[in-house]
Structure 1
């Protein structure tokens, strides 16, 4: 294993660990902060570099990977817990299902890379590309979660209300 590969592997494992930790924490949802994590992951990914092969098969696998990221983001958004406190502040928290979907997406991307290797397609996702894919998932998730909040009438309200849980998953 080369030094670059070892560093990339350590970086990916650390970022996955951090993502899992963040998903288990309760977070306050605000209009201005909803895309913060997606932006952080996206900027880091672009700074680390995104190298996409121009081979048609590799482009197809990249499109499949992007679609999987967006699809998992949409599924995770539907399973994210939402509630409002007595001051009208909206909070979110991931569930076992959202964590499972996140891990399934990572496993799918590893399987996609393994498939590409065995069929000799020049598709190799580096850390930058993984970060951009995660940014897409988080951006889709943030958009749909915010739409759920708006549909409940919580987006602009700061009036006190009873805590209500919606979309709770086990």
Structure 2
């Protein structure tokens, strides 16, 4: 798979995920975590042993690790901007806010800047690093939203509803 195909797939996935995050959804969604894991695995599989530029291994590993840490931090930031609540049945729900959209725009800008930095430094940027970045950032966001949903107090269900 060439770089253009990976970029198109990654952008389509991000657009879909952002759209879905802006609609009310159950906070604990295993499918979100499955998507994140699939993206990480896809990123690893697309590059295999080429994740690190052999001409600049220390700098390449440093930037890769920094990129993954930044991805995790941005996922946490977006999770913090997401509204989480319980409905009358005790189910935790989440929905992105306008701040979530801004955080997504910032996440994309940071990723583009990191790609530019690796280019300026003359480091080969692995094709799968885009999928790794998105997978990690989504995984952290989904986990933190699910955790926030689980931490919400459970509303007492009236006795009339429990008898049904």
TM superposition score category, shorter chain reference: 0.7 to 0.9
Question: Which structure has the bigger radius of gyration?
Answer: 2
Residue in 1 that maps onto 2:139: 139
Q: Which moved more, 1:18-27 or 1:34-43?
A: 34-43
The runs of 5 or more residues in structure 2 that have no matched partner are 159-164
Distance 1:20 1:153 in 2: 27
Residue in 1 that maps onto 2:69: 67
Aligned equivalent of 1:20, options 14, 18, 26: 18
Q: TM-score, normalised by structure 1?
A: 0.75
Say whether 1:124 aligns with 2:125.
Answer: yes
Residue in 2 that maps onto 1:4: 2
Residues 19-168 of structure 1: pairs in structure 2 closer than 5 A? 19-30=17-28, 32=30, 35-49=33-47, 51-53=50-52, 54=54, 55-120=57-122, 122-126=123-127, 128-154=128-154, 159-160=156-157
Q: TM-score, normalised by structure 2?
A: 0.77
The runs of 5 or more residues in structure 1 that have no matched partner are 162-170
The Cα shift of 1:32 comes to 4.9
The 3 A distance-change label for structure 1 pair 33 and 116 is: closer
Distance 2:146 2:16 in 1: 23
1:35 is paired with a residue whose SS is helix
RMSD (CA atoms):
2.6
Could you tell me whether the CA contact under 8 Å between 2:39 and 2:132 is conserved in 1? Answer: yes
Could you tell me whether the CA contact under 8 Å between 1:52 and 1:123 is conserved in 2? Answer: no
The 3 A distance-change label for structure 1 pair 147 and 72 is: same
The Cα shift of 1:132 comes to 2.1
The 3 A distance-change label for structure 1 pair 134 and 160 is: farther
Q: Choose between structure 1 and 2: higher helix proportion.
A: 2
